[in-house]
Amino acid sequence: MVSLNNAFKLYVMMALLSLGGAGVWQSMHFPITAPQGFMIQFYQRVLGHLDGRSCSAYPVCSVYARQALVQHGWLWGSWLAMDRLIHEADDLKGLQKRHMIVFEGERRLYDPLSRNDFWLSKE
Amino acid sequence: MKSWLFVFLLLFSLQAQAVEPSSMVYKQSLLLASEGKIDQSIIALQAASAVLPQGDIWRERMIAASLLLRMQKQQLTRLVPIKHNDYLKLVDAYRQAHAKPQATQTWPVVLLASIFPGAGHAWLGRWHDAGVAALFVWPLLLLTLWAARRKMGPVTVFFALLTVWLWSGTIFSAISLAERGSFEVYMQWWQQLWQASALPGRPW
C-alpha cells in the first residue's frame, strides 16, 4: 500500500517530468514520437557528441537530413539524407573544389539541399 | 561659369533619372534570378522591356537577359535568334564556337545500381561513393539471405524491408548524382554563355 506522502511525491515528480518533457518537445523540430524526430534528436544530442568529429559539409548532415525530411517526407527525405552520406566521400576528395567554403575557420563543402533535390521538381 | 555648371548638373541629373528606373528593374530582376526565382525574373524583364522605346539599350539588355534566363530554365542549348540585338549575336557566336554540354545518360546508372549496389556510382567515376553505397547494402543483404536460408520468417521480412529501403536509396543517390552532374556541367556552359553576351551583372 502506497502511503499518501509517497503518492504526493510521485505526483509532483511526474508533474515536473511532464513539464520538462513539454519544454524539450517545444524545442524539437519533430515530435520525439515521430521516428525521424527521435532518430535525429538522438543523433544530435547523444551520438554526435560521443563521436566528437564535426561534419565536413555545410549544412551539417543532421541539419540537412532534417530539412530533407521536412520538405520531402519520410521516404524521399531519408533517401536524400542517405545520398548526402554517400556522395560526401567523393565530394570531399577534391572533386568539388569550387564548392568549398570557409565556415567558422574550417574549410567545408557547401552542399545545400537545393543542390541535390532540384531534379525532383523538374518539369 | 556657375550658371554653366548648374545647367550641366541639371542635364546630367535628368539623364540619370531617365536611366535609373530601367537599370534598377534590370538589377532587381537579376537579383531575383540569383535567388532562384527565375520565372519572376523573366516576367519582370519582359514587362519592363515592353514599355521601353525601340532602340533603348536597356530594352535590348532586358530582352537578351530574359531569353538567356528562359534558356537556362529549360536547359536549352539553342536560342531563338532575334535580329538587331547585339548581345544575342555575341551569344550565338560563342555558342557556335564552343562545344555544347553533354548530359549524363541516366538509364545505365539506374541499371547498374539496380543490378549491383555501388556499380551506378562507379559508372559515374565516383569510386569512393561506390564503396560507401556498397557498404550500405551488402551487410544487410547478406543478413537477409542468411535469415532466409535459416527460414527465420518475420526476421527475414524485417531484414528484407531494410535492405530494399537501403538499396533503393543507393539507386536514388546514383540518379541524383547523374542529374546533378549534368546540371552543373550545363550551368558552367550557360554561365560562360552569359559572360560572352557582355550583359552587365550576373544572375548567380
State the pTM of this model.
0.73
Measured distance between the N- and C-terminal CA atoms of chain B, rounded to whole angstroms: 47
CA torsion sign, B52 to B53 to B55 to B56? negative
- Residue B168, burial from CB neighbour count under 10 angstroms (0-12, 13-18, 19+): middle
Hey, are the CB atoms on B176 and A115 less than 8 Å from each other? no
Question: Above pLDDT 90, what percent of chain B?
Answer: 50
Could you tell me if A61 and A85 are in contact, meaning their C-beta atoms sit under 8 angstroms apart? yes
Residue B10 has pLDDT above 50, yes or no: no
Chain A residues close to B176, C-beta within 8 Å: 80, 83, 87, 116, 119
Best to test chain A binding among B176, B191, B204 (most A CBs inside 10 Å): B176
Angle (nearest 5°) at CA B38 between B92 and B97: 15
Read off the pLDDT band of A45 (50, 70, 90). Answer: confident
Least Cα separation, residue B143 to chain A (angstroms): 20
Which cell goes with B125?
567515376
> Considering only CA atoms, which of B84, B69, B105 is closest in space to residue B179?
B105
Q: Which of B121, B126, B173 sits opposite A82 (nearest CB)?
A: B173
Residue B110 has pLDDT above 80, yes or no: yes
Q: How far apart are CA B128 and CA B156, in angstroms?
A: 30
Hey, are the CB atoms on A89 and B166 less than 8 Å from each other? no
Hey, are the CB atoms on A82 and B179 less than 8 Å from each other? no
Of A28 and A85, the one with more pLDDT: A85
Least Cα separation, residue A28 to chain B (angstroms): 26
Hey, is B202 helix, strand or coil?
A: coil
pLDDT of residue A53: 67
A85 to chain B, any CB pair closer than 8 A? The answer is yes
A119 to chain B, any CB pair closer than 8 A? The answer is yes
Could you tell me if A111 and A93 are in contact, meaning their C-beta atoms sit under 8 angstroms apart? no
Q: Which of A79, A85, A116 sits opposite B180 (nearest CB)?
A: A116
Mean per-residue pLDDT for B49-55?
Answer: 87
A58-72 pLDDT per residue, tens:
888 888 998 898 888
Least confident of A24-28, A67-71, B129-133, B152-156: A24-28
Torsion of CA B105, B107, B108, B111, to 10 degrees: 160
